[in-house]
Amino acid sequence: MVKLLSRIHNKKILKHDQAMMKLPFLSTEKLAIGIDIGSHSVKICELKLTDKTYSVINLGSILLPEGAVEDGSLHNPEAVGTAISELLKNLQIKHKKVAISISGYSVIVKKIHLAIMEEKQLEEFISSEAEQYIPFDIDDVYLDFQELKTNTGDSDATDILLVAAKKEIVDEYLNMLRGLGLQPVVVDVDAFVLENIYESNYPLHGTVALVDIGATNMHINIISDGTSITAKDIVMGSRQLTEQIAETFDITTEEAEALKIGQTPAEDKQEQIARIFNSICSQWVSEIKKTIDLYHSNKTNKRLDKLALSGGGSKVAGLIEFLHNETNVPVEIFNPFIKMLKNPKQIDPDYLNNIGPEMTIAAGLALRTSVI
Ligand SMILES: Nc1ncnc2c1ncn2[C@@H]1O[C@H](COP(=O)(O)OP(=O)(O)OP(=O)(O)O)[C@@H](O)[C@H]1O
Ligand SMILES: [Mg+2]
């Protein structure tokens, strides 16, 4: 059984404060292997939970051929399957239970305001009434929901987060994984995974905008005191930079990628590359600002304390300063392993630091229990 999209914020995940509690005995819970299937690369992460503390066990990434994953769907399942198998083999991971996430047009997330009900009653209500909230045929989607516990006691209504994902798209992922002999136990949504991994590493109080910038997608999730207030997926990412560099200098995507990440010295191209960075990062910043404005359009919302950036796109030189100047909010790189135990003899600390931003979603998926 797949826990689809489910336990969206996973009630089994230890919140920061609970993780501080010490149990009189050691207990280890077997966790799922987190597999983040991005459009640029697959990232895999294995964590261990012992005595309520997470340890980083194993992690790595592998590039995907261009076009294998587009718009959140598997265009070339064979190529993605081959990449996952190769990476699991390289990392010597034997555990078969895996957690994945999806995003993009196949997922609809809606906050609805309903009268407080018992869980069972709510389940029945959602399955019979979901159609009115979702632009898809109800038979074509997997549904899940979570009570957000926003009721303050002065009304008898509360907010429910409703999630619907197209079966066709989700099944493509499940079939591909099963074809590799893996057992998918959780399918989550990128924006929620981001939230879970943030909350297991950083204090719950305050208001933060989590921004993951990948190759083709940007996920923004603004959370306040542990509750998601505004979430948005935007089709933008670091591949825009590669494409623009390739076009400007009439070079291949690989050559442009190497120039972008500084692997090849820019030399006389420096000025033009800086202009490309500037123009594309301005688009990203403008989208981030629009989401922040949307968040503030509700007058009761608190001031943003910070922006936490993840994804490979967060490494773009100068982006942190640019974003800070434009939003006037402190900006930092999200380290998904900051609170976890790490063994420098097993995983090189420099490698872990460098890959941290890209690993955020894989690490968030690896928090999930494999017990089903
Ligand atoms: N130093 C850098 N400067 C600019 N871009 C970078 C840098 N390092 C990595 N990237 C870019 O980050 C992207 C990969 O990030 P990530 O692994 O988060 O993407 P993904 O998860 O595969 O994609 P998506 O989530 O959008 O489908 C690539 O486009 C890569 O070129
Ligand atoms: Mg990604």
Integer CA distances (angstroms), 332 to 204, 304, 335, in order = 16, 13, 9
**Atom of ligand 1 lying closest to residue 311 CA:** 18
pLDDT in tens, 64-79: 999 999 988 999 999 9
Q: Does the Cβ of 68 fall within 6 Å of ligand 1? A: no
Q: Locate tokens 């939230």: which residue? A: 195
pLDDT exceeds cutoff 60 at 15: no
The whole-chain average pLDDT of the chain stands at 88
Helix (H, G, I), strand (E, B) or coil at 333: strand
Q: Does the Cβ of 261 fall within 6 Å of ligand 1? A: yes
Nearest CA to ligand 1 atom 10: 312
Neighbours of 164 (CB within 10 A): 24
pLDDT of 21 = 34
Least confident of 150-154, 243-247, 285-289: 150-154
Ligand nearest to C-alpha 213 = 1
Q: Does the Cβ of 194 fall within 6 Å of ligand 1? A: no
Q: Does the Cβ of 259 fall within 6 Å of ligand 1? A: no
Give the DSSP letter of residue 312. G
User: Which residues have their alpha-adjacent CB atom under 5 A from ion ligand 2?
Assistant: 38, 214
Domains observed in the chain: 1-201+335-372 (3.30.420.40), 204-334 (3.30.420.40)
Q: Does the Cβ of 312 fall within 6 Å of ligand 1? A: yes
Concatenating the DSSP letter of every residue in 59-77 gives: EEEEE--TTSEETTEES-H
pLDDT exceeds cutoff 60 at 6: no
Q: Does the Cβ of 358 fall within 6 Å of ligand 1? A: yes
Q: Does the Cβ of 233 fall within 6 Å of ligand 1? A: no
Helices 253-260 + 239-249 axis angle, to 10: 110
How many angstroms does the Cα of residue 320 sit away from the middle of ligand 2?
19
- Give the separation between CA 321 and CA 328, rounded to whole angstroms: 10
Q: Does the Cβ of 62 fall within 6 Å of ligand 1? A: no
pLDDT band at 12 (very low <50, low <70, confident <90, very high): very low
- Give the separation between CA 370 and CA 266, rounded to whole angstroms: 46
Closest CA to 223 of 206, 239, 244, 238: 206
How many angstroms does the Cα of residue 235 sit away from the middle of ligand 2?
11
What is the widest separation between alpha-carbon atoms in the chain?
66
pLDDT in tens, 89-106: 999 999 999 999 998 888
Q: First-to-last CA distance in the chain? A: 7
Helices 270-296 + 319-327 axis angle, to 10: 40
pLDDT exceeds cutoff 90 at 27: no
Ligand nearest to C-alpha 277 = 1
How many angstroms does the Cα of residue 119 sit away from the middle of ligand 1?
40
pLDDT exceeds cutoff 80 at 297: yes
pLDDT of 372 = 64
pLDDT exceeds cutoff 60 at 2: no
Contact between 245 and 284 under an 8 Å Cβ cutoff? The reply is no
How many angstroms does the Cα of residue 125 sit away from the middle of ligand 2?
34
In degrees to the nearest 10, what's the CA dihedral of 146, 8, 39, 363? Answer: 150
Q: Locate tokens 């993605």: which residue? A: 80
Instruction: Specify the amino acid at residue 347.
Output: I
pLDDT of 193 = 93
The arithmetic mean of pLDDT across residues 329-339, rounded, is 97
Q: Does the Cβ of 260 fall within 6 Å of ligand 1? A: yes
Concatenating the DSSP letter of every residue in 98-150 gives: EEEEE-STTEEEEEEEEE---HHHHHHHHHHHGGGG-SS-GGGEEEEEEE---
pLDDT exceeds cutoff 60 at 3: no
Q: Locate tokens 């291949």: which residue? A: 252
Report the DSSP pairing between strands 218-224 and 207-213: antiparallel
- Give the separation between CA 26 and CA 51, rounded to whole angstroms: 5
Report the DSSP pairing between strands 97-102 and 69-70: unpaired
In degrees to the nearest 10, what's the CA dihedral of 106, 109, 147, 226? Answer: 110
pLDDT in tens, 299-318: 677 899 999 999 999 999 89
pLDDT in tens, 49-60: 998 899 999 999
Contact between 312 and 238 under an 8 Å Cβ cutoff? The reply is yes
Nearest CA to ligand 1 atom 15: 312
The kind and range of the H/E element at 159 are: strand 157-166
How many angstroms does the Cα of residue 43 sit away from the middle of ligand 1?
11
Give the DSSP letter of residue 274. H
Most confident of 26-30, 113-117, 182-186: 182-186
Q: Does the Cβ of 158 fall within 6 Å of ligand 1? A: no
